């Protein structure tokens, strides 16, 4: 080895050490001698735009800007005397997975590239210490909807000062913003309150016109009787938890409640599962960037024994390492062929948690699917109610440098991988609501992680959040869009978004918190409880809000991303062009096939995309589900197979999971679609689903549609 090469490697080694320290958990002055805890080694690319940092102790640190990731890899390889071939950057607007014929290099270009590669290898031996390493790093290339996240290095005086400043300013400004929202919610509710008082004073019932008023009264009386019977048994037996065999049941099924009495209004999925005769266990899952997230498993306690705590702990950050073998799955071991339960994973919406699927007693989607015969899993996104990471602490800004991309590209695969590992299946059914659909639509795109589609038998999207509704133009949302990214961080910080909301969640009584939660969220998102069971309304808000990052809210509401483009995967210009094409197609149907062929070139999804089923809330001001249906109907996504679609005109955004008739309107159809799209191999070993019509198991699940299902926008 020549002296020049030695100098080059030595110089690269020094630069590598500096870059490693820049991306490590702590600086070298804070690292304990002899320990490699959190020391950055290299970058691992989950997707070409999602690098995470691997540390010497086998842990992971969250995503960093692409140039910084390439730089540490380049320096590492140079210090070791190896060449580095980073992923080439594709032209803007073209998918990295499907470039099309026009983007393929010609024969002459290929020969030039081959000669250049040979010359580069020769040049590597002649490099001097004056080589500019940064020049070899591909330039940062991101979709305009996903701008790069900020890079926060290891703790230092400067960074700690920066965090302290943002934490102080955001404490006052974000809480002032929250106070304005609360006051606005209170003041706008005064006319409604006065109207109700007037009706009572004139001997009229203000609730008599509610669509499910009689059903609400009936359910309230049943709950009252059940609570009284539970308390009576408890006093007579002298037991804290009465024997379930001795407790009378007023339900029509054979599931005996394991909890009872007046509702405690607590944030506990297991408590509400036990009230309907089911139970739940909590698994911990590690994402590929080191976050520890929560996965709930709902089960029938008469046929399943929960796993031990050691089994439910987080495993390796690697995903899909042993899918399909079921060798380590505690769930898999308890069911035998012919009686297995097909796994279904449910993902929640923005500012919510998985408990949103568990608040309506037997009318809860999670409990309904479990009692129908499915193996139900409830996934929570990162941070939730208890922010946790394998290396980072709550006060570290790197803990909060994430948005919808990371939830889709990191959280969703981690949850899916753990479910498939535990159950031993090759595929699962995926049911998502609101933001859960957003992160899935992002993850499945051919520029993200399209291979996830091969592990999903059907994607059921409830109130799909892809296109923005008119609500995005409200004054308080416009304020967030007007301020610059820097001012957004001054107002809302670089950590969690308005954490005072979680403080109020912990200290306020459940009934008061539920009432305030309804007023605030109704004011913000134009929701009403018209179709909900008002007797359970306070319970509905015990599972929200959760911790989310300020960067995530900036993605939704800031000036650069969703609020600007009003779409998840299309820019403002592309959306405008789409509207023009839709209008011209309505006026002129000729050349329709040619137009659709041209549109397919800009498709989001490729052949990996799973079948989709959509339930659209027709009175939803938050998102525009009809426009998504139009995109699919008009050939813009040739690979998407919509096996079921339904527009429920009277439904608002949350009615798809909380309405009194949600089981009839949505739940039963979700149950049927999951069964009809289940792989044939799985059907042979799974139990028959209760309530499903099996007269024609080979029938297309999308073919028989009711009149309501055909109510789509023109």
Please tell me which of 235-244, 307-316, 318-327, 458-467 the model is most confident about, judged by mean pLDDT: 458-467
Percent of residues, the chain, with pLDDT higher than 70? 81
Per-residue model confidence (pLDDT) at position 587 = 52
Please tell me which of 327-336, 440-449, 669-678 the model is most confident about, judged by mean pLDDT: 669-678
Domain coordinates in residue numbering, the chain: 3-90+103-141, 269-319+326-586+602-679
How far is C-alpha 660 from the chain's CA centre? 25
Relative to beta strand 375-379, strand 456-462 is unpaired
Per-residue model confidence (pLDDT) at position 710 = 40
Q: Which of 472, 409, 404 has the alpha carbon at shortest distance from 438?
A: 404
Per-residue model confidence (pLDDT) at position 103 = 43
Catalytic residue, chosen from 279, 529, 620, 655, is: 620
- What CATH number should be reported for the domain whose range is 269-319+326-586+602-679? 3.40.50.1820
Per-residue model confidence (pLDDT) at position 8 = 79
Tell me: pLDDT of 494 over 90: yes
Q: Which of 185, 173, 178 has the alpha carbon at shortest distance from 521?
A: 185
> Can you say whether residue 688 is alpha, beta or left, with left for phi > 0 and alpha for psi between -120 and 50 degrees?
beta
- How large is the average pLDDT for residues 279-304? 96
Structure tokens at 532: 């909900």
Q: Which of 73-87, 203-217, 484-498, 634-648 has the lowest mean pLDDT?
A: 73-87
299 forms bridges with which residues in the sheet? 279
Active site residue 620: yes
Tell me: pLDDT of 469 over 50: yes
> Which SS3 state, helix, strand or coil, does residue 51 take?
strand
pLDDT band of 323, cuts 50, 70, 90: low
Q: What is the pLDDT of residues 180-238, one digit of tens each?
A: 999 999 999 999 999 999 999 999 999 988 999 999 999 999 999 989 988 888 888 76
Give the global pTM: 0.88
E strands, 417-572, where? 428-433, 456-462
Reported residue count of the chain is 714
In degrees, to the nearest 5, what angle opens at C-alpha 629 toward C-alphas 628 and 634? 100
Catalytic residue, chosen from 11, 361, 653, 655, is: 653
Per-residue model confidence (pLDDT) at position 94 = 36
Please tell me which of 19-28, 129-138, 497-506 the model is most confident about, judged by mean pLDDT: 497-506
Relative to beta strand 428-433, strand 343-347 is parallel
Per-residue model confidence (pLDDT) at position 142 = 53
- How large is the average pLDDT for residues 546-555? 95
The residue behind tokens 């296109």 is 467
> Which SS3 state, helix, strand or coil, does residue 159 take?
helix
Per-residue model confidence (pLDDT) at position 49 = 86
DSSP secondary structure of 367-417: HHHHHHT-EEEEE--SSBTS--BSS--TT-GGGG---HHHIIIIIHHHHHH
Q: Which of 176, 175, 147 has the alpha carbon at shortest distance from 484?
A: 147
> Which SS3 state, helix, strand or coil, does residue 518 take?
helix
pLDDT band of 434, cuts 50, 70, 90: very high
Distance between CA atoms of residues 650 and 658, nearest Å: 13
Distance between CA atoms of residues 339 and 313, nearest Å: 27
The residue behind tokens 């305009």 is 144
3-state secondary structure 107-130: HHHHHHHHHHHHHHHHHHCCCCCC
Distance between CA atoms of residues 633 and 70, nearest Å: 41
Q: What is the pLDDT of residues 606-653, one digit of tens each?
A: 999 999 999 999 999 999 999 999 999 988 899 999 999 999 999 999
Relative to beta strand 60-61, strand 375-379 is unpaired
Per-residue model confidence (pLDDT) at position 82 = 83
Give the DSSP H/E element, type plus range, for residue 298: strand 292-299
Q: What is the pLDDT of residues 585-599, one digit of tens each?
A: 655 554 555 555 556
Give the count of beta carbons closer than 10 Å to the beta carbon of residue 175: 14
> Which SS3 state, helix, strand or coil, does residue 530 take?
coil
> Which SS3 state, helix, strand or coil, does residue 522 take?
helix
Per-residue model confidence (pLDDT) at position 695 = 59
> Which SS3 state, helix, strand or coil, does residue 604 take?
coil
Per-residue model confidence (pLDDT) at position 1 = 58
Per-residue model confidence (pLDDT) at position 328 = 53
Residue 74: burial class (beta carbons within 10 Å; 0-12, 13-18, 19+): buried
Distance between CA atoms of residues 169 and 494, nearest Å: 11
3-state secondary structure 261-297: CCCCCCCCHHHHHHCCCCEEEEEEEECCCCEEEEEEE
Catalytic residue, chosen from 434, 457, 544, 645, is: 434
**Residues with Cβ within 8 Å of residue 474, at least 6 apart in sequence:** none
Distance between CA atoms of residues 44 and 52, nearest Å: 5
- How large is the average pLDDT for residues 337-364? 95
Do the beta carbons of residue 354 and residue 380 sit within 8 Å? yes
Measuring CA to CA, how many Å separate 315 from each of 235, 310, 312, 390?
A: 44, 10, 9, 11
- How large is the average pLDDT for residues 97-117? 46
């Amino acid at each position: 080895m020549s002296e020049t090469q030695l100098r080059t490697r030595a110089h690269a080694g020094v630069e590598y050490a500096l870059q490693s320290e820049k991306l490590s958990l702590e600086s070298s002055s804070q690292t304990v001698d002899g320990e490699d805890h959190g020391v950055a080694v290299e970058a691992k690319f989950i997707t070409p735009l999602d690098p995470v940092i691997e540390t010497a102790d086998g842990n992971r640190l969250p995503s960093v800007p692409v140039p910084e990731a390439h730089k540490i890899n380049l320096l590492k390889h140079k210090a070791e005397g190896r060449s580095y071939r980073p992923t080439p950057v594709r032209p803007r607007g073209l998918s990295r997975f499907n470039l099309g014929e026009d983007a393929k290099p010609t024969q002459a270009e290929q020969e030039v590239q081959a000669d250049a590669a040979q010359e580069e290898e020769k040049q590597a031996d002649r490099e001097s210490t004056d080589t500019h390493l940064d020049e070899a790093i591909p330039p940062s290339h991101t979709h305009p909807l996903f701008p790069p996240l900020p890079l926060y290095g290891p703790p230092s005086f400067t960074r700690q000062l920066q965090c302290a400043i943002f934490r102080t300013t955001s404490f006052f400004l974000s809480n002032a913003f929250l106070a304005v929202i609360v006051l606005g919610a209170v003041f706008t509710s005064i006319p409604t309150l006065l109207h109700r008082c007037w009706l009572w004073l004139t001997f009229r019932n203000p609730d008599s016109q509610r669509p499910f008023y009689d059903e609400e009264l009936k359910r309230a009386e049943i709950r009252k009787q059940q609570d009284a019977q539970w308390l009576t048994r408890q006093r007579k037996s002298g037991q804290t938890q009465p024997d379930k065999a001795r407790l009378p049941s007023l339900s029509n099924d054979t599931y005996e409640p394991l909890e009872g009495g007046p509702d405690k209004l607590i944030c506990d999925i297991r408590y509400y599962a036990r009230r309907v005769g089911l139970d739940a266990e909590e698994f911990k899952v590690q994402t590929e960037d080191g976050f520890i997230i929560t996965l709930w498993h709902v089960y029938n306690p008469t046929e399943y024994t929960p796993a031990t705590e050691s089994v439910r702990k987080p495993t390796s950050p690697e995903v899909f390492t042993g899918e399909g073998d079921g060798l380590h799955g505690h769930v898999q071991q308890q069911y035998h062929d012919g009686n297995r339960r097909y796994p279904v994973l449910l993902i929640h919406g923005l500012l919510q948690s998985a408990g949103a699927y568990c608040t309506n007693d037997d009318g809860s989607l999670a409990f309904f699917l479990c009692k129908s015969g499915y193996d139900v899993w409830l996934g929570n996104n990162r941070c939730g109610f208890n922010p946790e990471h394998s290396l980072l602490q709550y006060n570290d800004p790197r803990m909060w440098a994430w948005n919808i991309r990371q939830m889709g590209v990191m959280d969703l695969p981690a949850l899916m991988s753990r479910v498939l590992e535990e159950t031993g299946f090759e595929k699962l059914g995926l049911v998502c609501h609101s933001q859960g659909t957003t992160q899935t639509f992002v993850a499945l795109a051919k520029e993200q992680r399209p291979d996830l589609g091969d592990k999903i038998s059907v994607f059921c999207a409830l109130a799909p959040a892809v296109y923005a509704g008119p609500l995005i133009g409200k004054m308080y949302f416009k304020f967030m869009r007007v301020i610059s990214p820097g001012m957004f961080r001054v107002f809302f910080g670089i950590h969690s978004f308005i954490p005072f909301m979680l403080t109020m969640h912990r200290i306020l009584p459940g009934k008061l918190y539920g009432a305030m939660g309804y007023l605030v969220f109704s004011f913000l998102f134009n929701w009403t409880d018209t179709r909900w069971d008002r007797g359970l309304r306070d319970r509905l808000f015990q599972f929200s809000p959760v911790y989310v990052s300020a960067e995530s809210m900036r993605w939704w509401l800031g000036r650069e991303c969703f609020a600007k483009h009003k779409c998840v995967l299309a820019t403002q210009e592309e959306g405008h062009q789409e509207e023009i094409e839709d209008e011209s197609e309505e006026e002129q149907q000729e050349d329709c096939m040619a137009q659709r062929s041209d549109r397919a070139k800009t498709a989001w999804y490729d052949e990996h995309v799973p079948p989709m089923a959509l339930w659209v809330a027709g009175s939803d001001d938050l998102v525009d589900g009809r426009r998504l249906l139009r995109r699919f109907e008009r050939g813009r996504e040739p690979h998407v197979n919509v096996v079921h679609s339904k527009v429920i005109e009277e439904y608002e955004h949350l009615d798809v999971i909380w309405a009194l008739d949600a089981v009839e309107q949505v739940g039963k159809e979700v149950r049927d679609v999951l069964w009809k799209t289940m792989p044939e191999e799985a059907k042979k070993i799974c139990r028959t689903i209760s309530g499903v019509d099996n007269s024609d198991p080979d029938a297309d699940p999308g073919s028989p549609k009711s009149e309501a299902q055909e109510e789509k926008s023109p």
